[in-house]
Structure 1
Amino acid sequence: MARKLHRMRRAALAIGVAFAAAATISACSEKNAYVAPPPPRIDVALPVKQTVTRYLYATGNTVAVNDIALVARVQGFLQEIDYKDGDEVKAGTRLFVIEQEPYQLALEQAQAGKAAADASVKQSQADYQRQVDLLKQRVVAQSTVDQSAAARDADLAKQKQSEADVKQAELNLSYTEVKAPFDGLVTARQVSVGELVGTGGATTLANIVQLDPIYVNFNVSEQDVLRIRAAMAKRGLKPQDLKKVPVEIGLQTEEGYPHKGLLDYASPTVTASTGTLAARGVFDNKGRPLLPGFFARVRVPLGAEPDMLLVPDRAIGSDQSGRYLLIAGKDDVVEQRTVQIGQLVGELRVITAGINPDDRVVVSGLLTAVPGQKIEPQMKTLTAAATDGVVQ
């Protein structure tokens, strides 16, 4: 009887252990069940809507308006150098003097020749008049009058020749003084006092460069030419109003485009081999901040465009299909939207096509936001960008 009771107790204990184990397993199973993580919190913002000045961007180089060589146009020994290397001079300032005595003597000789020619003309004219009077009195023959007229005409020709000789001599004498043809800076002299110049051709004495105003040459593409023409037409400007179009430039070490000028020239044709058109701007250069040969960033305003949409430039991605933005769409599911971009305004980029004003654009957490997955949008407000001094 006791043995039977013991067996019953053992069986009850086994059943209890089995139930306890089953309960433990069930509790562990409920505790380890997979629970989906909440959607990630992602910052989104509506595009900024503002008026943006559209620009044409190019690169160019500064060029002197005038840059010429000062040459000796007559032969002789250099007598004077009347400036210091690098001087800023006014138009008409005497810079070099070539020995003048030979040319002064040549002038005096030409003047003496002219005086003799004048006397001969006076004599032959009087003789011709006498012969005419005698012919009327039938004292001389017609042939005598004709000979007198021929002598007079020859003397008149010599008189004209002598006048030309005097002018040539005066011109040669003037060439002995080399003067500045315009306001500018004179470079270092290339000759020395006492040196023979003008032999075998023109001798370069120095160069003079005009720095104010200054040109900036640049090229624009055929597409940009069409954009400029469209912008001019929109503003009511005609081709003859070309010089009213503003141009702005900035140097490599400068922020933005601090130098303001006007479009001065545009080639009448597009170069077929390059598909570009040569253009030029002119800029005041007081104080000479611009020197010939500088590299310059160029922009030409094409006019203000209202209600342009802008997003942070960092929010724009790219793949094989082009540029795109991530949008928090219906039910907060991320969409990838292909867009067309425009110029950079501060830290914002103009979006010309692909989004609407009420689209919620993902502006941070781009690696976390996956197209097709749901997010928890956190609305942010973008600040409008300043439109002055922007770069592309």
Structure 2
Amino acid sequence: MRRHAKRYLMLVALLAASTLIVACDKRNAYVPPPAPKVTVAKPLRKSVVDYLEATGNTQAMQSVNLPARVEGYLQAIKFQDGQHVKKDQLLFVIQQDQYKAKVKEAQASIDSYKATLTQAEIEYNRAKKLYAEKAGPDTEVVKWQTTRDSAIASLESARAQLDIAKLNLSYTMITAPFDGRMGRHQVDVGNLVGGGGQQTLLSTIIQDDPLYVYFTLNERELLRIIKAHENKHDDPKGKAALEMGLSNTTSYNYKGTLDYTDLGVDPQTGTLLMRGVFPNPKRDLLPGLFVRLRAPVETRDALLLPEAAVGVAQVGHYVLVVGDKNIVEQRPVSVGTVVDGMRIIDKGLDGSERVIVNGIQRARAGGEVTPEEAAPGAPAAAKP
């Protein structure tokens, strides 16, 4: 009897322990988390303009040093440093007294030689008449002819000296050679300038409207332009359009044209030097700025995705595509330029794929996701 009771108690204990173990197993069982939610959208297909992009630097269209071309004391400065001036506006005045005196001296020499020439002409004509009448020797004719010719030469020399004197006098007044902006003055009033046979730099003037922009293209980009235009019959007088943006903006607010291309590709760098010209009526652009440039090459249909939906790995660019069974695939793609915040996809997609545009960091290649379609229209901007 005791033996049966003992077996019974052992059986009850075993059943209780089994129940406890089963209960613990149910409480600690692993339950996989739900697939992460992501937003998917098909690439946007639209007509886009392909641009050729480059970087460059602005440069003044003209930059001229203004030296003192004659010696004298600087008498006046007629502008403010940094001022915009007009062509032929007076900028500097050098003491003029000695140069005005040189003009008067040259003019007096002319008057003297004119009088000498007049007398020589009279005596020469009289000597010829007397010689013709056999009333005078031929030596008198030769004498007065020589005197007349000498007076003519002296008169021409005096006139040349007058021209030089007037030219030197004009150099005492330095004027602006074109509309532009002045630099700072290098010499103060009262200083002797142009002395010692050397020119003294007074200031510099630049033409800042319009401005030049210099940039380079490599061979691949140059061949791309040639190919894009090989079937076009462009107006040979027309100039290619350029757009320019500053380094602190993403837009291209300045419009200009291609002005010059170098004679050939530099064999050492494999690049071609080019130049654009941009109006600058507000003078808000300065020479020496680093700028971004782009030029339209061709218009074509393309696929676009939000730029943040395109990842970059060691092998290149990629996007995350959701398949039929909601499994994520990492798809390599070739990309183009950015258009209105959207990245052009040149290769790797046909437009029917569901691309993850939101929740990219929650998805991984080979994993399952719960996709939600983006709102109708353009794909939404990608978010983590």
Aligning the two structures, in what range does the TM-score lie when normalised by the shorter sequence? 0.7 to 0.9
Matches within 5 A, 1:236-315: 236-237=233-234, 240-241=237-238, 244-303=239-298, 305-315=299-309
| Distance 1:168-1:382 versus aligned 2 partners, 3 A rule | farther
1:383: how far off? 4.3
Q: What amino acid sits opposite 2:335 in the alignment?
A: I
Matched, 1:85 2:81: yes
In the other structure, the counterpart of 2:382 is none
In the other structure, the counterpart of 2:201 is 204
- Asked whether the 8 Å contact 2:50–2:300 carries over to 1, the reply is no
Task: Give distance in 2, aligned partners of 1:211 and 1:80.
Answer: 25
Q: Helix, strand or coil for the counterpart of 1:318?
A: strand
| Distance 1:158-1:230 versus aligned 2 partners, 3 A rule | farther
In the other structure, the counterpart of 2:318 is 324
| 50-59 or 372-381, which deviates more | 372-381
Task: Give distance in 1, aligned partners of 2:138 and 2:46.
Answer: 99
TM-score, length-normalised on structure 1? 0.81
| Identical columns (%) | 40
In the other structure, the counterpart of 1:62 is 58
TM-score, length-normalised on structure 2? 0.82
Task: Give distance in 1, aligned partners of 2:36 and 2:372.
Answer: 10
**RMSD between aligned alpha carbons?**
3.6
Matched, 1:339 2:314: no
In the other structure, the counterpart of 1:224 is 221
| Distance 1:141-1:208 versus aligned 2 partners, 3 A rule | same
Q: What amino acid sits opposite 1:272 in the alignment?
A: P
Q: What amino acid sits opposite 2:65 in the alignment?
A: A
Q: What amino acid sits opposite 1:268 in the alignment?
A: L
In the other structure, the counterpart of 1:351 is 345
- Asked whether the 8 Å contact 1:46–1:381 carries over to 2, the reply is no
Deviations 1:208-252 (A, max 9, x none): 2322222222222232233334445565335653xx222222223
| 187-196 or 34-43, which deviates more | 34-43
Task: Give distance in 2, aligned partners of 1:88 and 1:277.
Answer: 34
1:174: how far off? 0.6
Matches within 5 A, 1:36-115: 40-115=36-111
Deviations 1:121-160 (A, max 9, x none): 4444455555555666566777765665554443333232
Task: Give distance in 2, aligned partners of 1:136 and 1:377.
Answer: 125
Q: What amino acid sits opposite 2:354 in the alignment?
A: R
1:38: how far off? 6.4
| 202-211 or 230-239, which deviates more | 230-239
Q: How many residues align?
A: 377
Unaligned runs of 5+ in 2: 380-384
Deviations 1:314-364 (A, max 9, x none): 222233322122223354443332211111223321111111011222223
Q: Helix, strand or coil for the counterpart of 1:211?
A: strand
| Distance 1:144-1:226 versus aligned 2 partners, 3 A rule | farther
Task: Give distance in 2, aligned partners of 1:253 and 1:84.
Answer: 30
| Distance 1:147-1:267 versus aligned 2 partners, 3 A rule | same
Task: Give distance in 2, aligned partners of 1:177 and 1:49.
Answer: 66
Task: Give distance in 1, aligned partners of 2:254 and 2:270.
Answer: 28
In the other structure, the counterpart of 1:390 is none
| Distance 1:96-1:40 versus aligned 2 partners, 3 A rule | closer
Task: Give distance in 1, aligned partners of 2:29 and 2:186.
Answer: 94
Q: What amino acid sits opposite 1:252 in the alignment?
A: S
1:49: how far off? 0.6
| Distance 1:10-1:72 versus aligned 2 partners, 3 A rule | same
| 271-280 or 19-28, which deviates more | 19-28
Q: Helix, strand or coil for the counterpart of 1:172?
A: helix
Deviations 1:11-70 (A, max 9, x none): 996998699789969988997998877655443211001122222222222222222222
Task: Give distance in 2, aligned partners of 1:62 and 1:28.
Answer: 79
Unaligned runs of 5+ in 1: 386-392
Task: Give distance in 1, aligned partners of 2:188 and 2:19.
Answer: 111
Matched, 1:186 2:200: no
| 152-161 or 12-21, which deviates more | 12-21
- Asked whether the 8 Å contact 1:50–1:384 carries over to 2, the reply is no
1:88: how far off? 2.6
Task: Give distance in 2, aligned partners of 1:182 and 1:350.
Answer: 46
